[in-house]
Amino acid sequence: MVYMNKKILIPIVIISLIFVIYLDLISKNTSIETPENAFIYSDVETIQKILATKNILMSSPSVIADHTVKQYCTFFDNEGVQQFVSYCITTAILDSDGKPLGNINMGGNSIEPSMALAIIQTGPSFDSKTEDIEFIFETMIETLVCDCWAEKQPGGFESVSTWLHAAEQQYYDSSQPALISKINGLNQKQLVLEITTSENSYLWTLIVIR
């Protein structure tokens, strides 16, 4: 298990709807959720072990339960209403060179999470850390949603990588500073991908909502 004392906390960027491109994708294949396939806080340990196979280091989780929780564990529901949680855990992730990548956070109440997110900050190039982003997001989806993407192909995308590249191209071709792409109905969960700019870098955010 990897321990890192330094926290790397990247606040969630809340974007005005005026400047957002929406690419909404509804999965035609859905399944009924049971308590057994709902994700839990200990899933961060599974994610940590999987990321380590690619030399991506992830710290042990730290609890955030004060007034700053809304900066790191918040999301918008299907009606576009911002939702807050009372309890959040955060972990820092580093690349194989020991450089900060971002955070994986999970929040809800103190017993069970209702959302999880990974937020990755890259350099000024779209090609920067592409492999790391794909692996982190694929790991999040396979661990917290299901290992069923290839079978169900939500939104018509044959892989998570294909989805990410389509969103990236859409963002690149547009003149807007942000893009949001949603996939609903994969194992009764919602996936939200956000791409935004921050000074001389890009922020890639994947949110998983129960």
Q: What is the pLDDT of residues 14-51, one digit of tens each?
A: 333 333 444 444 333 444 344 556 899 999 999 999 99
Task: Let me know if residue 148 belongs to a domain.
Answer: yes
Which tokens hold the place of 15?
């974007």
Q: CA-CA distance, 167 to 202, in Å (whole number)?
A: 13
Average pLDDT over residues 132-150: 96
Task: Let me know if residue 7 belongs to a domain.
Answer: no
Tens digits of residue pLDDT in 156-171: 999 999 999 999 999 9
Task: Let me know if residue 50 belongs to a domain.
Answer: yes
Look up the pTM and report it: 0.83
CB 158 within 8 A of CB 166: no
Determine the pLDDT at residue 7: 46
Range of 75's domain?
A: 17-209
Tens digits of residue pLDDT in 120-129: 998 877 677 8
Determine the pLDDT at residue 144: 97
Cα separation values, 4 from 37, 61, 101, Å: 30, 10, 13
Determine the pLDDT at residue 25: 46
Tens digits of residue pLDDT in 62-112: 998 888 888 889 888 777 788 889 999 999 999 989 999 999 999 999 999
Query: Does the pLDDT of residue 190 top 90, yes or no?
Result: yes
Task: Let me know if residue 3 belongs to a domain.
Answer: no
Determine the pLDDT at residue 14: 38
E runs forming strands in the chain: 20-26, 57-58, 62-64, 74-76, 82-84, 87-94, 100-108, 113-122, 178-186, 189-198, 201-209
Report the number of distinct structural domains present in the chain.
Answer: 1
Task: Let me know if residue 95 belongs to a domain.
Answer: yes
Percentage with pLDDT > 90 across the chain: 60
Task: Let me know if residue 12 belongs to a domain.
Answer: no
Task: Let me know if residue 184 belongs to a domain.
Answer: yes
Task: Let me know if residue 149 belongs to a domain.
Answer: yes
Query: Does the pLDDT of residue 187 top 70, yes or no?
Result: yes
